[in-house]
Chains A and B, each alone.
Chain A
Amino acid sequence: MRKYWTVFWVNWQNALQYRGPTFISLLGNVLRVVVLLYLWNAIYRGEGRLGDYSLSDLITYYLLQMVINSIVLSYSSWEIVDQIREGTFSNFLVRPVNYLHYSFMINFSWKLFEGAMVLAAVGVLSFFLLPYITLPSRPETIFFFILALILGGFLSFAFDFAIGLLAFWLVQANAFKYMLQYIIFFFAGALLPLDLFPPLFQTVAKVLPFRYLVFFPIQIFLEKEPHPVEGLLAAALWGIGLYFFLQFVLRRGIARYEAVGQ
């Protein structure tokens, strides 16, 4: 276990090297939220209304979406695809280390690092936005919300890891990667709250596990989620299932890598 904590800390040092770029991309996200704020403000002042959402619900939705973007959503597949395609993946085959666990720790350390930065940004933003934010009324909401973030983080990593493993079979994995990532983001509710979509979409989104990444935690925070406990349990089950699935796919991928070489 100790080795994976070292992986965590080494990548933490690595992330620190990127604090500049991370901060700048965060600034971009903040800017986007500010623009949305003006947009929704104008729409709602013109007596417009989106589904079940009050103005402060929507502002809160996008603010949380920004937080989740940094804390939950994984982009491990970038590195995984590169490592497999360029053959540096071999370094993991010859060392006593499990690639799934290793990649998880790398992702975990990135997410914590970005999380710290985004919380600082949100802290500053909320001075201006406090009147617009919907805060939870029940204390257990915060507890459920944090649990949902953790599970969302697990699941997001699992999906992205699976996407990265495509590189074992596809030479041009990157094109598929973008397509799949957009589908996941879409059904996660990263673009628009899922309950604003037509009923058919909503049914599909409900069956798919992607909503646990973004939509589900935010609904918990807004106290709009009717079954938080069931949802958390379902997310955990998905996580466990995906873990075994990924270990299996990784073994298959390695078998292919061993045969083809790089």
Chain B
Amino acid sequence: MAVIEVKNLTKTFKTHRKEPGLLGSIKGLFWREAFYNEAVKAVSFSLEEGELVGFLGPNGAGKTTLLKMLSGILTPTFGEVRVLGFIPGERDRAYQRQFAIVMGQKNQLWWDLPPAESFALNRDIYGVDPKTFQSALDEMVSLLDLKDLLNVPVRQLSLGQRMKCELVAALLHQPKVLFLDEPTIGLDVISQEKIRGFIQEYNRLKRTTVLLTSHYMKDVEQLCRRVLVINHGRIVYDGSLEDLSHRYIDHKVIKIRFASPQAAAVLSGMEGVVELDAHHAVLKVKKKEVAQTTHRLLGRLPIEDLSVEEVEVDEVIRRIFEEQPSKEGG
């Protein structure tokens, strides 16, 4: 049975346009032009137990709205959601004890108190018995290397340390399903790495089903075998990252460093050259022509170094987003 089941899920926000200035405000009291914004449009997908799936999409694509509907913070306008058999919008206590959501920009830790206090509060809010609590805490503290920080007020922690503690606070009741909304936002590279490693390890150890959103490709590349690409409220791709590049990209990139500057002249004007100067060149070549082209280049030019690379996933994603222009317009 699928842990998360989403069918035809749609969320429409009703908003009002306000004319600028004081007069506009007064006018707005009596008459406002309503307009509707479909943040999520007829989205369907399902997740099996233990999957770690990434949501990819630009700002405003509907990722957060989806996560909020899965956690019962927002009610769907249309369609069906079931998580662990529950309808999230009913906010059943039994459901709440089995999932957690971490929003990178909405903290739940008490600012002026050490994280240990927030942890104790969550322990009792979720009714976790002290023994289970202690062993869960010890495990995560050692995984995340937090031992010395438990008794330091949150306000004195760095952003990365705080994020780690947010994760611990959310996982103390050992949820079966975890939603992560931008868990690495604003963090330095090392902290991102740590958090990623932790999520991966935790998912492997506990078989927790994880759905995470991020704009950092790295997060998704390292963590998720399966991605859902969402753009303008629609899922435009559901599958593995490798297939994504197979499907959308038909070329590879050849990078060359010349042994002598004369080589550059030969390449100028040649088809597929994207970058060229006296010392190096970058070529885009159709996949099936890679072997032939490489052979030819090596045979004809004084080349010091040559490498063949896949197109970066970032670019693949950018392609997809550019391919799907908004048809609704505002």
Contact = CB atoms under 8 A, between A and B. Distances in A.
Contacts of B122: 95
Given A13-B113, A14-B113, A260-B13, A95 B106 contact: no
A258 B112 contact: no
Contacts of A14: 110, 112-113, 117
Most chain B CB within a 10 A radius of its CB, from A7, A18, A91, A94: A94
Interface in A85-117: 86-88, 90-91, 93-97
Max count, chain A CB within 10 A of own CB: residue among B71, B117, B121, B127:
B121
B68 interface: yes
Given A13-B117, A261-B65, A96 B101 contact: no
Contacts of B135: none
A6 B75 contact: no
Given A10-B113, A10-B117, A10-B121, A93 B72 contact: yes
A211 B122 CA distance: 38
B125 interface: yes
A6 B120 contact: yes
Interface residues of B, number: 35
B107 interface: yes
Given A96-B126, A261-B13, A90 B121 contact: no
Contacts of B218: none
Given A3-B124, A96-B93, A90 B113 contact: no
B121 A93 contact: no
A56 to B, nearest CB: 41
Interface residues of A, number: 26
B103 interface: yes
Main secondary structure of the interface of A (DSSP, over half): helix
B113 A17 contact: yes
A95 B125 contact: yes
A124 interface: no
A82 to B, nearest CB: 12
A261 B97 CA distance: 22
A258 B65 CA distance: 11
B108 A10 contact: no
B100 interface: yes
A117 B122 CA distance: 29
B59 interface: no
Given A2-B127, A91-B108, A261-B65, 19 more contacts: A3-B124, A6-B124, A10-B110, A10-B120, A10-B121, A14-B110, A14-B112, A18-B112, A86-B106, A87-B106, A94-B73, A94-B96, A94-B100, A94-B101, A96-B96, A96-B125, A258-B75, A259-B75, A261-B13
8 contacts: A6-B121, A17-B153, A94-B96, A95-B96, A96-B97, A258-B75, A259-B14, A261-B68
